[in-house]
Amino acid sequence: MTTLEMIEEKKRGAVLPAAAIRAWVHQVARGEVPDYQASAFLMAVYFQGMNGDETAAYTRAIADSGQMLDLSPLGSRTVDKHSTGGVGDKTSLVLAPAVAACGVPVPMLSGRGLGHTGGTLDKLEAIPGFRAELPIHEFLRIVQQVGCAIVGQTPNLAPADRILYSLRDVTGTVDSIPLIVGSIVGKKLAAGPDAFVYDVKVGAGAFMRTLEDARLLGHALVRATRANGKSASALLTAMDAPLGQAIGNALEVVEAIESLRGGGPADLRELVVELGGEMLRLSGTESDAATARARIGRVLDSGRAAEVFAQMVAAQGGDPHVVDDVALLPTAPVTQEVRAQEAGGVSWIDARALGDAAVALGAGRARVGDVLNHSVGIQLLVKPGDRVERGEPLAVVHAASGEALRQATEAISTAVAVGDPAAARPLIVERISP
C-alpha cells in the first residue's frame, strides 16, 4: 500500500494489515515517506485509532526499524521499568539498584526531561563525573558486573521512533494511545529485556490527566508488549502532588539515596517496593507478590541497594562517595523558605505548577537543548493532609539568583493550598497484571 492509500483507509476507519504498517514504519525509518504524508497519517490515526493487532504491528516495526539488542550474554531473565513521567519522580534511581540487589539484572535505558517532568539521566548527571551516554558493550558489561546500569537511548535503537516522535511533537499528534504505545514499547522491545513494568502516572501533574485515559494507556502498553512475546504489567499511580519531597536534580539524588538506605519519603519507598516487587515477580524470581515486595524492602533496609547504587555510579564514572556524603553534590548559591500565609490543612499541592517552577529555576528544560543547573530546585516540607501553622515553612527554594528565588517563592505560594486538609489518597490507583 502507498502512504496515500494508508491515509485513505485509516481515514474511513479501516483496520490496516500488519504487513502494510510494518512496511510503512520501515519506510519512515529510511526517510522514504514525505513528512507531510506521515503527519496526515498520524492525524488520521489520532482520530480513528488502531486496534490491538495494528498497535502490536506498529510497535514491533518501530522496535526492529534499527538494531535489536541481544541481552543473552547477561544469562538470566532481565526486566526494565518505564514511567510515563511525573514531577519529583526519582524512582528509577532507587528501583534499579534494589531489583539488581535481589539478583535480577536491570539494563535500563532512560531519557531526559522536557517540560514539567524531569528525566532520570538528568538527575544522575548531578553526580560529579557520572556518564549517562555509554556504548552498548560498556552498558552490558556494567549490568553484568554490577547488576544494573542506567544509560541514554542510543541512536541505532528504534530510529523510526525518533523521526515519528519529532514529527508528532510539532503536528498535534502526541496524545494518541496507539502512537504513545508504539513509541514507548517500540524502544523497550529494541532494548531487549524479557519483561517490563509500566508506571502509568495519572493526575494533574501527569501526561494522562484522567483515570480513564491512564487505564486505556496501561492496558494498551501491556497488550502491545505481550503481543510481542514479552512479559508486562502496569501500575496506575497517583501524580497530583509530586512524588516525595524533592524536585530538582541534585535534591532528588539526595532523596533517592535516603530511600536507598531505607529512609526517605514514604510514598517514594512505597512506589519502589510496589514496582520492584512486580519486577521480581515478572522476572520469575518470586512468584508471590507480597514476598517479592518484602524482599525489595529488605535490600533497602540492609543497605545492599545503596551498595549496588554506589557500584553502578562508580562503573559509570561518577563519584560513589556521594552515597555516604551528599555534600559532594552541587548546591545552589541561594536558598529561602516559603512560609504558610495562614494556618490550616494542606489541601492541595499542584505537581504541574511545581514542575513548571522547577523548570523556571533551571532544573528542567523548557525546550530541547536547554542547559540544566543541577543544583537548583524545590524541597517540599509538607504533604497533602499535613497541618500547618501560620508562618510555618512549606518549602525551601534552591536557586541560582535572588530574582529566580523570588519568582519560585511566588509560584510555590500559589501551588500549595492551605485550607481544609486533604484526605490521604492511595498512591497505587490500579494494577494491570497477568
Residues that bind a copy of itself (CB under 8 A): 4, 7-8, 11, 34-40, 42-44, 46-47, 167, 170-173
In the numeric block, the cell 530538582 is attached to 248
First to last CA, the chain: 36
Catalytic residue among 89, 161, 240, 267: 161
Q: Under a CB-based contact definition with an 8 Å cutoff, are residues 162 and 28 in contact?
A: no
Nearer to a copy of itself, 54 or 125 (CB): 54
Catalytic residue among 39, 110, 183, 283: 183
Q: How far is the CB of 234 from a copy of itself (least distance, A)?
A: 26
187 given a catalytic annotation? yes
Exposure b/e, 377-403, CB count within 10 A at least 16 = b: bbbbebbbebebeeeeebbbbbbbeee
Nearer to a copy of itself, 171 or 347 (CB): 171
Nearer to a copy of itself, 47 or 403 (CB): 47
347 given a catalytic annotation? no
Nearer to a copy of itself, 44 or 220 (CB): 44
Q: How far is the CB of 46 from a copy of itself (least distance, A)?
A: 7
Exposure b/e, 31-49, CB count within 10 A at least 16 = b: eebeeebbbbbbbbbbebb
Q: How far is the CB of 5 from a copy of itself (least distance, A)?
A: 9
370 given a catalytic annotation? no
Q: How far is the CB of 43 from a copy of itself (least distance, A)?
A: 4
82 given a catalytic annotation? yes
Nearer to a copy of itself, 92 or 176 (CB): 176
Catalytic residue among 82, 123, 281, 352: 82
Q: How far is the CB of 366 from a copy of itself (least distance, A)?
A: 15
183 given a catalytic annotation? yes
Neighbours of 140 (CB within 10 A): 20
Rounded Cα distance between 183 and 346, Å, is: 37
Catalytic residue among 60, 90, 162, 168: 168
Nearer to a copy of itself, 170 or 366 (CB): 170
Catalytic residue among 90, 187, 188, 352: 187
Nearer to a copy of itself, 36 or 156 (CB): 36
Nearer to a copy of itself, 6 or 273 (CB): 6
Nearer to a copy of itself, 4 or 343 (CB): 4
Q: Which amino acid is at 253?
A: V
Q: How far is the CB of 21 from a copy of itself (least distance, A)?
A: 16
For residue 310, with 0-12 CB atoms within 10 Å meaning exposed, 13-18 middle and 19 or more buried, which class applies? Answer: buried
Q: How far is the CB of 382 from a copy of itself (least distance, A)?
A: 35
Q: How far is the CB of 352 from a copy of itself (least distance, A)?
A: 17
Q: How far is the CB of 368 from a copy of itself (least distance, A)?
A: 15
Which residues are identified as catalytic?
A: 82, 161, 168, 183, 187
